[in-house]
C-alpha cells in the first residue's frame, strides 16, 4: 500500500468528520482540561505544587469553568473526590504535585478503585530532563517510582512521556475510570511535557490535532448479559418456595436509575421475591420496603437468617439465591466473625451468581448457574423473562405471610431496647436511631471503626437516604473527607458523616476545606477517647477486656475547639446528656448547614461499654503455649 494513502486511511478512520474537530496549538495541560470539560468533570480536588505548574496555571486561567478545591492533605483530597462522585458529581478528579504528594493521594485512590468509584488521579512530575539526577520530589527514575506504585494498586496508570501520546493515554485513563464497574485511573505528567504543544499526524501543521465531540467517541460501557441464562435463572427463582435476591455494590449503578428501580420493585412485589444487600450496598433497595430483609453480612439485620432457615449446625432451608453484583467477600458473607463466609448462604437447589467479572463467580461459594453480564442488563432481562407470566398465587401468598411474620416477631436490631433508650450517656445504637429519625434525606457517609457496625445494624436506609461506606478497603478518615466532596457536589442536599474520634482527628483539617468552600457538611463524632473497635476487639479476642481499657486512649482532645478552630459550628453532647440533646443539636445543625452554608460538628460522648454485634471469636491458644499442668509445674 502507498504510504500516503495509508496515512489518509488512518486519518479517516481515527477522525471522522462528524465526530470531532481540529484543535490547534493546545499544550498537554490544556488538552487534559479539554477532556475533563468533555467529561463534565470541572471540579478538581487537590493541592498545588511545583511539578504541576502548567496545569495549575491553566486552571487559574479557566477559573470560570473549573473549581479547584484546595484541600489540606492529598489523601483527604482523594476521599473528597470519591464523595463528590458518589453524591452525583460524576467523575472524581484529584490533582497533586510529585513525590510525597502523589504518594499521599494513593490511599484515597486505591480506596475508590476498590469501591468501584470513578476517579482520575493526576500527579505532576519533575521535568523528564532531570530524571535520575536527584531532582527534588522526583517520582520516576528513583527509589520512589510513583507509576509503578499506582500501576500495582489501581486499574490503570501511565506516564505521559510525550506530547504525541497524550490524547491516547488520557482517553485510556478515562475509559477505565468511567467503565462499568467504575475504577480509579492515574496519570503522571512530567512538567516539561505538560507545557509542550500536542502534536498530530498532519505533517504540514504538526500542532493540529483531532479532538472528539463527545465521550462516546472514545469510550463505552458494558451493557449486555446472557439472556438465555437469565431466563433460566428466573425460572429457578419463580419456581422456588423460598427464593432470595442478594444485591451487592455492583448493582448500585444499575438501581440508581429511578425508572429501573421502580420496575424492579414492581417485579419483586408481583413475585414476592425478598431482597437483602451486602453492607456496601445497604439501602440501594429501600430498606423500608415490605420485601426488604435489609443488610446481610457483618452486623447483619436478623431477618435474612430467619428467612433462609439458618440454624446452628443445620443447613439452610431456602432453595434459590440470585446474587447480583457482589464478589461475596468476607464482610458480605460473614454474619459472625466466628464463622466467616457463612455456609448458611448456600441454598438447597439453585445458587445463581451474576457479575461482570467472571473471576468473582464461584470464587467462594459453589454455584449452579454463573452469568457473566452487566447487572443493569440482567435486571432488564429479568423483566423480559417475567413478561406474560404470573406467579402461582398460593406459594406467593404464603411467602408474603412468612416475610410479614418474620418482621412482626423478630427485631431487625441486635439490641432494640438500647436503640430505643433515652438514657445518658447516649448509647451508640440510640444515636443511630436519632440520626435516622432526624435526617430524613440524603447522603450519610460512614467512616471505618465501630460506626460501621452501629450504623449497619441500626440505620434504616429508606428511599430518601443514601448510605455510603468504603468497606472494600475500610480506611479511617474516608467519611471525614468524603462528606465534604459530597456537599460540594450536592449543595442543596443534606450530607452527614458518622465518624469516630480517632478517624476525625486523622483528617479534621478538612473541616477548614468545607468552611473555605461554604460547604455545610455535618459530622457526628462518636467520642470515647479511644480506638474502640480495636480495644473492644482485643478485649473479646484476648480477655479480660479490662486489660485493654484505656490502652489506646487518645489524650482526651477537645474536638469542639478543634472544629471551631477550623471554621465549624461545634457542640458537645456530654456524658450526662442523652439522645434528646443529640436530636436538638442535629436539628439545629441541619438548619444552620443549610441556611449559613457552614460546616457543623456534633461531638457525642457515647456510652463506652457496649460494642457492635461483630461476634468476635475466641482465639485458640498458640501451639507453643504451656498446658495447665505445665503452668502449674512452673509455678
Domains and CATH numbers, the chain: 21-217 (3.40.50.970), 227-409 (3.40.50.1220), 416-605 (3.40.50.970)
Which residues make beta-bridge pairs with 314? 311
Whether 577 and 422 have beta carbons less than 8 Å apart is answered as no
Mean pLDDT of 255-259: 94
- Residue 562 makes CB contacts below 8 A (sequence gap 6+) with 505, 508
Mean pLDDT of 255-261: 95
pLDDT at 145: 86
Which residues make beta-bridge pairs with 276? 246
Q: What is the pLDDT of residues 266-303, one digit of tens each?
A: 999 999 999 999 999 999 999 999 999 999 999 999 99
Strand spans (E) along 65-118: 67-70, 92-96
Spatial separation of the C-alpha atoms in residues 199 and 552, rounded to whole Å: 57
Q: In what order do the strands lie in the sheet with 442-446?
A: 465-468, 442-446, 495-500, 522-527, 600-605, 569-573
Q: Is the pLDDT of residue 479 over 80?
A: yes
pLDDT at 199: 81
Half-sphere exposure in the Cβ direction for 53 (13 Å, CA) = 8
Total Cβ atoms within 10 A of residue 180: 19
Q: What does each C-alpha distance from 133 to 128, 141, 148, 160, 188 come to in angstroms? A: 10, 9, 19, 19, 18
pLDDT at 6: 40
Q: Is the pLDDT of residue 635 over 90?
A: no
Q: Is the pLDDT of residue 616 over 90?
A: no
Q: Which residue has the cell 430467619?
A: 306
Q: Is the pLDDT of residue 254 over 70?
A: yes
DSSP 491: T
Spatial separation of the C-alpha atoms in residues 497 and 499, rounded to whole Å: 6
- Residue 82 makes CB contacts below 8 A (sequence gap 6+) with 92, 108, 111, 112, 115, 117, 119, 470, 478, 482, 485
Cell of 61: 486561567
Whether 117 and 471 have beta carbons less than 8 Å apart is answered as no
Strand spans (E) along 299-349: 320-324
φ, ψ of residue 507 in degrees (nearest 5)? -135, 25
Quick one: pLDDT band at residue 526, thresholds 50, 70, 90? very high
Whether 125 and 188 have beta carbons less than 8 Å apart is answered as yes
Quick one: pLDDT band at residue 123, thresholds 50, 70, 90? very high
Q: Is the pLDDT of residue 110 over 80?
A: yes
Q: What is the pLDDT of residues 436-463, one digit of tens each?
A: 999 988 999 999 999 999 999 999 999 9
Mean pLDDT of 157-169: 93
Cis-peptide into 544, omega within 30 deg? yes
pLDDT at 440: 87
Q: Which residues of 362-400 are buried (b: 16+ CB within 10 A; e: fewer)?
A: eeebebebbbbbbbbbbbbbbeebbeeeebeeebbeebe
Q: Is the pLDDT of residue 10 over 90?
A: no
pLDDT at 22: 85
φ, ψ of residue 497 in degrees (nearest 5)? -115, 135
pLDDT at 8: 41
Whether 144 and 184 have beta carbons less than 8 Å apart is answered as no
Whether 114 and 106 have beta carbons less than 8 Å apart is answered as no
Q: Is the pLDDT of residue 2 over 80?
A: no
- Residue 409 makes CB contacts below 8 A (sequence gap 6+) with none
pLDDT at 211: 92
pLDDT at 540: 86
pLDDT at 492: 95
pLDDT at 598: 97
Distance, C-alpha 552 to centroid of its chain: 28
Q: Which residue has the cell 471469636?
A: 617
Q: Which residue has the cell 441541619?
A: 590
Spatial separation of the C-alpha atoms in residues 364 and 352, rounded to whole Å: 13
Cell of 579: 439522645
- Angle value at C-alpha 93, between 90 and 97, nearest 5 degrees: 175
Cell of 513: 476545606
- Residue 536 makes CB contacts below 8 A (sequence gap 6+) with 450, 545, 548, 611
pLDDT at 7: 41
Spatial separation of the C-alpha atoms in residues 337 and 342, rounded to whole Å: 10
Amino acid at each position: 500500500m502507498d504510504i500516503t494513502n495509508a496515512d489518509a486511511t488512518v486519518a479517516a478512520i481515527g477522525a471522522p468528520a462528524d465526530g470531532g474537530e481540529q484543535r490547534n496549538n493546545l499544550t498537554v495541560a490544556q488538552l487534559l482540561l479539554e477532556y475533563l470539560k468533555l467529561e463534565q468533570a470541572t471540579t478538581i480536588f487537590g493541592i498545588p505544587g511545583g511539578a504541576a505548574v502548567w496545569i495549575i496555571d491553566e486552571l487559574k486561567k479557566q477559573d470560570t469553568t473549573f473549581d479547584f478545591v484546595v484541600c489540606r492533605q492529598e489523601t483527604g483530597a482523594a476521599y473528597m473526590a470519591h464523595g463528590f462522585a458518589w453524591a452525583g458529581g460524576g467523575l472524581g478528579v484529584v490533582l497533586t504535585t510529585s513525590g510525597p504528594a502523589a504518594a499521599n493521594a494513593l490511599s484515597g485512590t486505591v480506596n475508590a478503585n476498590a469501591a468501584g468509584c470513578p476517579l482520575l488521579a493526576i500527579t505532576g512530575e519533575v521535568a523528564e530532563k532531570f530524571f535520575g539526577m536527584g531532582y527534588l520530589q522526583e517520582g520516576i527514575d528513583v527509589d520512589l517510582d510513583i507509576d509503578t506504585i499506582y500501576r500495582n494498586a489501581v486499574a490503570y496508570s501511565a506516564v505521559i512521556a510525550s506530547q504525541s501520546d497524550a490524547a491516547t493515554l488520557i482517553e485510556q485513563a478515562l475509559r477505565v475510570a468511567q467503565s462499568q464497574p467504575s475504577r480509579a485511573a492515574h496519570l503522571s505528567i512530567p512538567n516539561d511535557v505538560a507545557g509542550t504543544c500536542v502534536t498530530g499526524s498532519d505533517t504540514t501543521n504538526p500542532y493540529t490535532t483531532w479532538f472528539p465531540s463527545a465521550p462516546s467517541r472514545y469510550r463505552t460501557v458494558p451493557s449486555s448479559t446472557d439472556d438465555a441464562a437469565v431466563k433460566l435463572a428466573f425460572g429457578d427463582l419463580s419456581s422456588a418456595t423460598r427464593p432470595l435476591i442478594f444485591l451487592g455494590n455492583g448493582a448500585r449503578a444499575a438501581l440508581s436509575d429511578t425508572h429501573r428501580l421502580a420496575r424492579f420493585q414492581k417485579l419483586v412485589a408481583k413475585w414476592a421475591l425478598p431482597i437483602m444487600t451486602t453492607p456496601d450496598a445497604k439501602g440501594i433497595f429501600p430498606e423500608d420496603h415490605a420485601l426488604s430483609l435489609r443488610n446481610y453480612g457483618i452486623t447483619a439485620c436478623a431477618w435474612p437468617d430467619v428467612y433462609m432457615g439458618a440454624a446452628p449446625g443445620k443447613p439452610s432451608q431456602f432453595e434459590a439465591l440470585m446474587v447480583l453484583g457482589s464478589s461475596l467477600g468476607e464482610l458480605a458473607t460473614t454474619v459472625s466473625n466466628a464463622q466467616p463466609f457463612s455456609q448458611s448462604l448456600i441454598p438447597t437447589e439453585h445458587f445463581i451468581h451474576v457479575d461482570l467479572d467472571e473471576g468473582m463467580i464461584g470464587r467462594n461459594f459453589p454455584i449452579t448457574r454463573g452469568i457473566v453480564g452487566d447487572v443493569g442488563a440482567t435486571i432488564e432481562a429479568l423483566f423480559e423473562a417475567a413478561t406474560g407470566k404470573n406467579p402461582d398465587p398460593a406459594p406467593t401468598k404464603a411467602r408474603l405471610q412468612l416475610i410479614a411474620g418474620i418482621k412482626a416477631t423478630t427485631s431487625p436490631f441486635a439490641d432494640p431496647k438500647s436503640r430505643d433508650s433515652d438514657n445518658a450517656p447516649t448509647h451508640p445504637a440510640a444515636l443511630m436511631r436519632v440520626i435516622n429519625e432526624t435526617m430524613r434525606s440524603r447522603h450519610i457517609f460512614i467512616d471505618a471503626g465501630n460506626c460501621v457496625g452501629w450504623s449497619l445494624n441500626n440505620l434504616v436506609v429508606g428511599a430518601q437516604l443514601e448510605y455510603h461506606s468504603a468497606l472494600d478497603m475500610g480506611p479511617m478518615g474516608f467519611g471525614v473527607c468524603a462528606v465534604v466532596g459530597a456537599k460540594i457536589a450536592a449543595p442543596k442536599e443534606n450530607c452527614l458523616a458518622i465518624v469516630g474520634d480517632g478517624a476525625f482527628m486523622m483528617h479534621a483539617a478538612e473541616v477548614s476545606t468545607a468552611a473555605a468552600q461554604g460547604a455545610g457538611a455535618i459530622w457526628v463524632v462518636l467520642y470515647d477517647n479511644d480506638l474502640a473497635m480495636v480495644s473492644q476487639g482485643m478485649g473479646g479476642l484476648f480477655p479480660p477486656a479490662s486489660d485493654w481499657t484505656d490502652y489506646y486512649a487518645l489524650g482526651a482532645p477537645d474536638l469542639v475547639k478543634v472544629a471551631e478552630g477550623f471554621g465549624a459550628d461545634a457542640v458537645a453532647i456530654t456524658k450526662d446528656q442523652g439522645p434528646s440533646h443529640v436530636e436538638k443539636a442535629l436539628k439545629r445543625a441541619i438548619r444552620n448547614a443549610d441556611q449559613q452554608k457552614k460546616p457543623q460538628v456534633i461531638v457525642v460522648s457515647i456510652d463506652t461499654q457496649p460494642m457492635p454485634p461483630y461476634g468476635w471469636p475466641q482465639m485458640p491458644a498458640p501451639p507453643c503455649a504451656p498446658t495447665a499442668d505445665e503452668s502449674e509445674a512452673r509455678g
